[in-house]
Amino acid sequence: MLALSFAWQASAQTPSRHALVMDIEGAIGPATKDYFERGLEQAREQGSEVVIVELDTPGGLVDTTRDMIREMLNADIPVVMYVSPSGARAASAGTYLLYGSHVAAMAPSTHLGSATPVQMGGGLPGSKESDDDGAAEESEGEGSAMERKVMEDAVSFIRSLAERHDRNADWAEEAVRDAVNLTASEALEQNVIEAVARDVTDLLEQIDGMSVVMESGDATLETADLTIERFDPDWRTQVLSLITNPNIAFFLMIIGFYGLVFELASPGSLFPGTIGVICLLLSLFAFQLLPINYAGLALIVVGLALMVGEALMPSFGVLGLGGIVAFVLGSIMLLDAEYMAISLPLIGGVALVSGGLMLWTLTRFATLRRRPAHTGIEQMIGASAVALEDFEANGHVRLHSERWNAVSDAPVKQGDELKVVRLEGLTVYVSHP
């Protein structure tokens, strides 16, 4: 009995063989990369037999995708990219991730492809229209040359991944050059993926005994009877994903800028300045992780500064109009990445609000200029005063809650309401209305 007890305790303390399952949904960005790297690290620490990534993405950042593929290629644990659930896709960057994984699999009714690198400032790189136009201008020729460089780099990259894992390199090139797509069954027939599985359990059964290419050499997967442990995105991933959303980062920058402006306009209020500093720091952190165009960022700052300048030193629209134009152009230029652009309605909304604020300031300024002056001597002339005593020529009156020496050309009784007609030093000349 004692021997059986020790044997049972030993088996209970032995960690079970398991597969770590991750979930990547949405555009590939900095938050995705952080989540993926932490998942691989946890798999190493727990001794996972294999890492399965359930993938559903429209695409994402090129640099982030390359970093994730580099992590996979150098991982000591096999990584399986599994396009799931049914209806999911591995478009654009997702296709590269599939080709970079040790095992590529898809659920029924899913698809992959459309891996052409997209330039936000123009058409698809390598488009036939530019190739057929022999009379293109020099600037267009330079643009075409840059597009060809981007295209050829993407083709070479995905072909190298296909050759490493013995997948269909010709179709991969078509996906990059012509943005073609395949369904799950078509991908399996054309040697683009290794399995079509209904769920993770079915996937583990199908890939059991499969040989994969690791950095250290070939390895055989032993996935039969593995338990499944999930590593879902935590609050850190969700917060990072929220902050690095281009629209959120852009909005935080605007709030931060105006918060500081309001704090400087009314020092000591603290609340606008505190919120402004926090939002500005969060936006700078996000922009550090995103592929921003610094010329666009500079135009945004200049545009906001010009609009604030219009509010402080009205130039009847010159500074304000220039600021709005610079702000809109800079916002459009700020991010040049597929699925990571700032929403045009958001840009337009902020521009309209800023323009409306500027117009209100101009209208207010014009109204104040038409009003009579209300400071200094001008404020005193015509003001009402109350006699504090009876007097014939010289006495005292209360003016603006203050006691003043007064001179009148007619007798005055205490409590009479008088009108100021002239001011000399600390003496007011009054008369009856």
Task: Quote the percentage of the chain above a pLDDT of 70.
Answer: 84
CATH architecture of 13-234: Alpha-Beta Complex (3.90)
The per-residue pLDDT for 401 is: 81
Is residue 254 pLDDT above 80, yes or no?
A: yes
DSSP 8-state secondary structure symbol assigned to residue 34:
H
Average the pLDDT over 303-318 and give the result: 75
CA separation (Å) from 80 to 22, 52, 115, 171?
A: 10, 5, 20, 20
Average the pLDDT over 398-427 and give the result: 88
Note the pLDDT tens digit of each residue in 3-56. 445 444 444 444 589 999 999 999 999 999 999 999 999 999 999 999 999 999
* pLDDT interval class at 270 (50, 70, 90): confident
In contact, 273 and 246? CB cutoff 8 Å: no
Tokens of 363: 């209208």
* pLDDT interval class at 338 (50, 70, 90): low
Average the pLDDT over 199-205 and give the result: 95
In contact, 59 and 124? CB cutoff 8 Å: no
Average the pLDDT over 89-116 and give the result: 96
The per-residue pLDDT for 134 is: 44
Q: Where are the domains of the chain?
A: 13-234, 244-290, 293-371, 376-431
* pLDDT interval class at 100 (50, 70, 90): very high
CA separation (Å) from 90 to 94, 114, 193, 327?
A: 4, 9, 12, 35
DSSP 8-state secondary structure symbol assigned to residue 196:
E
Note the pLDDT tens digit of each residue in 126-165. 333 334 444 444 445 555 888 888 899 999 999 999 999 9
How far apart CA 288 and CA 292 sit, in angstroms, is: 8
* pLDDT interval class at 373 (50, 70, 90): low
The per-residue pLDDT for 127 is: 37
Angle made by CA atoms 120, 125, 128, in degrees to the nearest 5: 130
In contact, 382 and 391? CB cutoff 8 Å: no
How far apart CA 78 and CA 220 sit, in angstroms, is: 10
Note the pLDDT tens digit of each residue in 204-214. 999 999 999 99
Note the pLDDT tens digit of each residue in 108-127. 999 999 999 875 433 333 33
Average the pLDDT over 378-387 and give the result: 82
CA separation (Å) from 169 to 115, 161, 175, 189, 235?
A: 13, 8, 10, 14, 39
Q: Which residue has the tokens 């990219």?
A: 81
The per-residue pLDDT for 400 is: 80
* pLDDT interval class at 266 (50, 70, 90): confident
Q: Tell me yes or no: is domain 376-431 CATH 3.60.21.10.
A: no
Least confident of 71-75, 140-144, 232-236, 381-385: 140-144
Domains 13-234 and 376-431 share a fold: no
| Mean pLDDT, the chain, whole residue set | 84
